[in-house]
Amino acid sequence: MFVDLTAAYHTVWHRGLTCKLLKLLPVRHVVHMIMEMVGNRSFTLITGNGQRSRLRRLKKGVPQGSILAPLLFNIYISDLSTTLSRKYACADDLAVMHADWNWQALEGVLSKDMATLGKYLQTWKLKLSTTKTISAVFHINHKDLSVNWMSTLTTRPCPSAPSPNISE
């Protein structure tokens, strides 16, 4: 499974990130300094005719494009729930992989693991992109390559991608 999160960097919950940083870094002052950089951001909207909105404070997210964003996001998801499948994550890209000779067993494990990850994502205020999350089957028996499976997380068939493109 190639898992895509909707606006991953923009949805990082500041209080949750603070808790995870405090577990990782013993020096509270360093955590406070990092959270000041992350949390002390604001914006205004400018309409087509030049009118400005009032200044608004960003209440979640890490600054996309900064050198800290991928590092902070990796810290934020470093405690992903335990699953039977192997998980590979780098910044906001996540792959969940499992091997089995039996298609039904494979589908059962991945469905259970996706439900577990769904609970984790909900707890930490992250959102799964149901339209961009895809499954890919690597198998020597080519007749099984086009099988779609019903995800209990999205309640719709998870599309199979014969040539997955994860660069989007």
**Six-digit token pair at 129?**
């992109």
CA distances from 74 to 70, 78, 100 (A): 6, 6, 29
Per-residue pLDDT, averaged over 31-60, amounts to 89
CA distances from 105 to 84, 110, 147, 156, 162 (A): 12, 9, 14, 19, 21
Res 89: pLDDT: 87
Cβ atoms 135, 111 nearer than 8 A:
no
Model confidence at 9, in pLDDT bands (50, 70, 90)? very high
Res 144: pLDDT: 53
Model confidence at 80, in pLDDT bands (50, 70, 90)? very high
Taking 90 as the threshold, does the pLDDT of residue 130 lie above it? no
Cβ atoms 32, 21 nearer than 8 A:
no
State pTM to two decimals: 0.77
More confident residue, 29 or 140: 29
Taking 90 as the threshold, does the pLDDT of residue 41 lie above it? no
More confident residue, 161 or 108: 108
Per-residue pLDDT, averaged over 141-167, amounts to 56
Taking 90 as the threshold, does the pLDDT of residue 83 lie above it? yes
Taking 80 as the threshold, does the pLDDT of residue 24 lie above it? yes
Per-residue pLDDT, averaged over 126-155, amounts to 68
CA distances from 116 to 2, 45, 81, 109 (A): 15, 38, 7, 11
CA 103 to chain centre: 26
More confident residue, 161 or 106: 106
Per-residue pLDDT, averaged over 4-17, amounts to 93
